[in-house]
Structure 1
Amino acid sequence: MIVIDDGPDLHPPEIMDEIGHFPNMTYIIGDREDLGISEGRNIGVRMVKTKYFINLDDDYVVSEHTDMPKMLEMLDTTDLSLVGGKCKRNFAGFMEFRNDKETGKSALMYYPGSCTVKSEELSSYPGCYRCDLTANGFMARTRDILDVGGWSKEVKIGEHKDIFLRLKAARKKVVFCENCIIQNVHSDKGVELNDEIENSFNKKAYRKLRYRRKQQMGHIFLNHWNVDKLIEIENKTNPRTWD
């Protein structure tokens, strides 16, 4: 297991001791500020020595319901590049570049949940559907991720759609399996802070900083793909066909 910590600071000694209890885990702490999710994942995937790897966000957990043997079998017996699992929200869907009807400007259209249509289901694997994008919990062919250059390191957050667009542009095949469950353990309550940190922590300023950061990364992402805006359309299917 490879864990990439944005860093650059070390954790307290008691936390580092806990990390040391997992001999099968390589724990990498970034050596500079603002490493970012994308570059962290690039570091991780370059360390992978196996033909396939599983990518997980830090709030995703695998279990007996993830069915990793099935994901492995699919990659091992087909020309698929990536098999994604299902989490709390169904991210799996199609993306396409087109002009926004209202503005006439170029847009990236994303249809979350659109891939679970009957025509896209794999005959050999019921419950698995071809798509362009899945959740950030997936098993992938290491070579194919490296072939598309990995994640765009300038997109430090909001890297999700970027890597799947890279795969789509390279005509790599992506599949979503609704019966491979990946648990999301993210808490909306946030981190509990002690009184000293709580009193010194400016939540309002943090929210503003976070918002500006997301806006900045959003602009970088759109410029990278030469589109004016991203439009998400829920509960609609894209009438494309797979060729």
Structure 2
Amino acid sequence: MANSISTSDITFCIKTIHRPWSCHRLVQSLREHIGDPKINVVDDGKPELRFSLKYPESAAACQVIHPADFDVGVSIGRNIAVDAVETPFVFMLDDDHVVTSNLNLDRVCKRFAANPIDILGVRQGSGGRPTMLSKLMNGKRIWVHRGETRRNGYVAWCDMSSNAFLARTETIRELRWEGELKTLEHWEFFYRAKLAELNVAVAGDCFIRHEHVESKDYRVLRHRSKFRAIGLRKHGFHSMRMPGGGVVNV
């Protein structure tokens, strides 16, 4: 457990592609509510659709990294962002998140420091509740469902949080995202965290706003179901049961 965590100890990491306005909105919300935040942005989009081209003033407040290749994927992009961090802690964000006063970052930091936690997620409005990853059908199906293993006030320990979370930089550098998965990487990242016996929790009274921004260029890249199949096969699963009860097969 950390003694204390301040804003200067944290770098906010954002992976973005083909949603420059969304990334700009997030960066501006960070600067409004955090003060002078350290921000790493990895943009692997086409040059004409880059965040730094569309919003140079916002980009100037960040360390913006453009991978040599187009569409390296969210996993590699996040790994690049974390590898460039120079602070002991990292706060991961999606580019369609928006920071408000309801994030309560000071509270997040205090909760992290006071408890045995490796990854502390925050809520996304009505989403981002504590989630479990359980095996079904003799270990051949992974079940994504709400649940928690224990609780201390508003902090609930579980297997998976939202994509908005605080963690030690060295923890995430060691865990990393699976580079083969350009999208649909979320459950696989947290499943490996479970296998590594990391302590994952959710702060139920701390919130990020999730405001999806539609983009044709982004949608084509995001909706590639083959990456879910790759992730499932990697861990020996033939299907996934979703929180609503639906089943996705390899």
TM-score, normalization: structure 2?
Answer: 0.73
Structure 2 residue runs of 5 or longer lacking an equivalent are 1-38, 246-250
Per the alignment, residue 224 of structure 1 pairs with 234
Mapping of residues 178-197 of structure 1, within 5 Å: 178-187=204-213, 190-191=214-215
Flag the structure with larger Rg: 1
Per the alignment, residue 96 of structure 1 pairs with 134
Relative to 1, partners in 2 of residues 1:30 and 1:22: Cα closer, same or farther, differing over 3 Å?
closer
Per the alignment, residue 154 of structure 2 pairs with 127
Cα distance in 1 for partners of 2:110, 2:230 equals 37
Percent identity between the two aligned chains: 23
What per-residue deviation string (whole Å, max 9, x for no partner) do you get for residues 143-175 of structure 1?
Answer: 111122x00010100111111111111100011
Q: Which amino acid aligns with 1:19?
A: P
Partner of 1:214: helix, strand, or coil? Answer: coil
Per the alignment, residue 65 of structure 2 pairs with 28
1:108 CA drift (Å):
0.6
Relative to 1, partners in 2 of residues 1:35 and 1:79: Cα closer, same or farther, differing over 3 Å?
same
CA RMSD of aligned residues (A): 2.7
1:9 equivalent in alignment to 2:35: no
Q: Which amino acid aligns with 2:190?
A: F
Relative to 1, partners in 2 of residues 1:67 and 1:167: Cα closer, same or farther, differing over 3 Å?
same
Mapping of residues 71-82 of structure 1, within 5 Å: 71-82=108-119
Cα distance in 1 for partners of 2:143, 2:74 equals 24
Alpha carbons 1:10, 1:29 under 8 Å: kept: no
1:68 CA drift (Å):
1.0
Cα distance in 2 for partners of 1:61, 1:182 equals 6
Alpha carbons 1:8, 1:31 under 8 Å: kept: no
Partner of 1:56: helix, strand, or coil? Answer: strand
Relative to 1, partners in 2 of residues 1:33 and 1:15: Cα closer, same or farther, differing over 3 Å?
closer
Relative to 1, partners in 2 of residues 1:22 and 1:32: Cα closer, same or farther, differing over 3 Å?
closer
Q: Which amino acid aligns with 1:174?
A: V
Higher relative contact order (CA 8 A, sep 6+): 1
Q: Which amino acid aligns with 2:230?
A: I
Aligned residues: 206
Alpha carbons 1:107, 1:228 under 8 Å: kept: yes
1:8 CA drift (Å):
4.3
What per-residue deviation string (whole Å, max 9, x for no partner) do you get for residues 41-93 of structure 1?
Answer: 00000111111111111111122111111221233333311111111342331
Alpha carbons 2:185, 2:228 under 8 Å: kept: no
What per-residue deviation string (whole Å, max 9, x for no partner) do you get for residues 9-44 of structure 1?
Answer: 2547x9627324554311112221221000000000
Q: Which amino acid aligns with 1:63?
A: T
Partner of 1:167: helix, strand, or coil? Answer: helix
Partner of 2:225: helix, strand, or coil? Answer: helix
Per the alignment, residue 55 of structure 2 pairs with 18
Task: Choose from 87, 91, 109 the match for 1:50.
Answer: 87
Structure 1 residue runs of 5 or longer lacking an equivalent are 192-200, 236-243
Cα distance in 1 for partners of 2:166, 2:232 equals 26
Q: Which amino acid aligns with 1:225?
A: H
